[in-house]
């Protein structure tokens, strides 16, 4: 079967899966509690069925991310009629959050739900398959992955680690983060200790700060104790659930570091290759369905949660000063371009991503970018 035909088939299955799942379970978590209800009924386990373990980098049942991982596990189980069941283990339940990559690689788990920005130490080019500072929006990023050669490059990169990757969620453009002190200029980043992963971490370092990479469950204690002075995570939907507004006074957005917030699922390649063709398609379709569903959830959740933060908690949201934006964008592009020096595959990844990004920039004034400018103008 040709790759294009395979993906087209996956999309059709994904739509049906999403519709079936939405009809049988309530998947939108409460903003206040961060919990999600379980599916109404698990399918019966067929004799000879396989059971996979999925590990995540997220807190258990965390809005959008943790619940999105659960939806993928449930879809695979239901769509396969129990022939392939997936049991979810949140960060720390089976392995620590940042050991998910190695856990699937070595067979401790068969599958993971994470973000490729966390694996920059595994390979410098990994963040391209999640999000890159001053990079592309979600729509542009998925265009590159599915129709611009990105998936083939991703398969090649992760295949070297014995893994098979899929897009499996998205947050949309993320906020710049919460700060204990006001950011008036780029000089205010000097000496700043900020939780931030991926290429964004190197940008903060180049602005004079110190980047700290922490999993979600460890951020709040670090912010409370003063281990870090600032943090980014995703945006209002998750930030409200974490309660960052109780500790940090200054909230900035949009961020420069994660313009699309791509989320991934990856599977032990040996285990994936051993599946029947229909089960492989079910795994891919379940992940593809979650990419759009999660983005929609974050879009709705951010809208509602931002209103709660502003109207009920008195949070004031600010834009970064122009010199910060310019310095951060320049640094982000420099960090991305330098990966091309890491080897032949790294150069091919950067060249492909960069070319698609440039096409997207040329298109943007006549697409969503231009529309948003016109909408703002008409609303003023």
The pLDDT of residue 25: 36
Q: Are residues 126 and 195 located together in one domain of the fold? A: no
203, part of any domain: yes
Identify whether residues 183 and 70 lie together within a single domain: no
Is residue 213, in this structure, part of any structural domain at all? yes
Q: Residue 13's pLDDT band (boundaries 50, 70, 90)?
A: very low
Q: How confident is residue 15, by pLDDT bands cut at 50, 70 and 90?
A: very low
* Residue pointed to by tokens 């994936």: 272
Same domain for 241 and 142? no
Helix (H, G, I), strand (E, B) or coil at 194: strand
Give the CATH number for residue 19: 3.40.190.170
Q: Write down the pLDDT at residue 181.
A: 96
pLDDT surpassing 70 at residue 215: yes
Check whether residue 230 and residue 107 sit in a common domain.
no
Decide if 334 is inside a domain: yes
Confidence of residue 9 (pLDDT cuts 50, 70, 90): very low
Q: Both 73 and 135 in a single domain? A: yes
pLDDT at 373 over 70: yes
Q: Can you give the pTM of this predicted structure?
A: 0.86
DSSP label at residue 30:
-
371 falls within a domain = no
In this predicted structure, what is the pLDDT of residue 295?
Answer: 98
Q: pLDDT tens for residues 143-179?
A: 999 999 999 999 999 999 999 999 999 999 999 999 9
Check pLDDT > 50 for residue 105.
yes
Q: Could you tell me if 117 and 84 lie in one domain?
A: yes
Mean pLDDT of 254-262: 97
Tell me, what CATH number does 237's domain have? Answer: 3.40.190.10
Average pLDDT over residues 127-145: 97
Asked if residue 273 and residue 235 are part of one domain, the reply reads: no
pLDDT tens by residue, 72-98: 999 999 999 999 999 999 999 999 999
What does the pLDDT average to over 327-333?
Answer: 98
The verdict on 152 and 96 lying in the same domain is: yes
8: pLDDT strictly greater than 80: no
| Strand order through the sheet with 250-252 | 210-212, 193-195, 230-231, 177-179, 250-252, 317-318
Same domain, 90 and 150: yes
**Which stretches of 320-379 are DSSP H helices?**
322-338, 344-363, 368-379
Q: Report the pLDDT averaged over residues 235-263.
A: 97
Query: Is-cis flag, bond preceding 372, omega within 30?
Result: no
Is 163 in the same domain as 203?
no
pLDDT at 46 over 70: no
Residue 73 lies in a domain: yes
Element (DSSP H or E) covering residue 168:
strand 163-170
Same domain, 70 and 147: yes
Domain ranges, residue 99: 3-173+260-303
Residue at 326 is within a domain: yes
Residues 156, 96 share a domain: yes
- Greater confidence (8 vs 197) lies with 197
**Token digits of residue 285:** 């379709």
- List the beta bridge partners of residue 52: 86
Using pLDDT thresholds of 50, 70 and 90, give the confidence band for residue 264. Answer: very high
171-212 pLDDT, tens digit per residue, is 999 999 999 999 999 999 999 999 999 999 999 999 999 999
Tens-place pLDDT, residues 271-298: 999 999 999 999 999 999 999 999 999 9
Q: Is residue 150 within 8 Å of residue 144, measured between CB atoms?
A: yes
d(CA 243, CA 15): 34
Residue 38: pLDDT above 90? no
Number of domains the chain is built from: 2
Q: What is the mean pLDDT of residues 4-33?
A: 36
- Residue 175's pLDDT is 98
Work out whether the CA dihedral 349, 354, 357, 362 comes out positive or negative: negative
Question: CA gyration radius for the chain?
Answer: 20
Q: Identify whether 309 is part of a domain.
A: no
- The reply to whether 365 falls in a domain is no
pLDDT at 7 over 50: no
């Amino acid at each position: 079967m040709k790759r294009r035909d395979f993906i087209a088939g996956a999309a059709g299955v994904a739509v049906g899966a999403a519709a079936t799942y939405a009809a049988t379970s309530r998947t939108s978590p409460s903003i206040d509690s961060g919990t999600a209800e379980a599916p109404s009924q698990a399918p019966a386990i067929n004799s000879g069925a396989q059971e996979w373990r999925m590990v995540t980098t997220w807190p258990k049942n965390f809005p959008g991310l943790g619940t999105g991982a659960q939806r993928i596990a449930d879809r695979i189980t239901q769509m396969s009629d129990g022939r392939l069941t997936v049991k979810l283990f949140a960060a720390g339940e089976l392995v620590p959050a940042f050991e998910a990559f190695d856990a699937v690689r070595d067979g401790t788990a068969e599958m993971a739900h994470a973000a490729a920005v966390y694996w920059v130490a595994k390979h410098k080019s990994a963040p391209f398959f999640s999000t890159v500072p001053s990079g592309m929006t979600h729509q542009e990023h998925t265009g590159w992955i599915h129709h611009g050669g990105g998936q083939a490059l991703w398969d090649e990169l992760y295949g070297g680690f014995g893994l098979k990757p899929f897009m499996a969620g998205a947050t949309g453009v993320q906020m710049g983060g919460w700060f204990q002190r006001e950011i008036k200029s780029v000089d205010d980043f000097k000496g700043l200790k900020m939780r931030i992963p991926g290429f964004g971490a190197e940008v903060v370092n180049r602005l004079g700060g110190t980047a700290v990479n922490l999993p979600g469950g460890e951020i709040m204690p670090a912010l409370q104790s003063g281990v870090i002075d600032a943090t980014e995570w995703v945006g209002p939907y998750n930030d409200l659930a974490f309660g960052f507004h109780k500790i940090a006074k200054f909230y900035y957005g949009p961020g420069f570091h994660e313009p699309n917030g791509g989320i991934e699922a990856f599977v032990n390649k040996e285990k994936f290759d051993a599946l029947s063709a229909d089960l492989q398609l079910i795994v891919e379709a379940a992940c593809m369905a979650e990419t759009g569903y999660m983005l929609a959830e974050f879009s709705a959740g951010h809208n509602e949660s931002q209103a709660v933060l502003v109207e009920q908690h008195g949070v004031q949201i600010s834009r970064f000063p122009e010199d910060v934006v310019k310095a951060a964008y320049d640094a982000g592009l420099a960090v991305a371009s330098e990966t091309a020096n890491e080897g032949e595959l790294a150069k091919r990844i950067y060249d492909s991503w960069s070319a698609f990004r440039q096409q997207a920039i040329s298109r943007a004034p006549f697409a969503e970018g231009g529309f948003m400018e016109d909408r703002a103008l008409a609303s003023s």
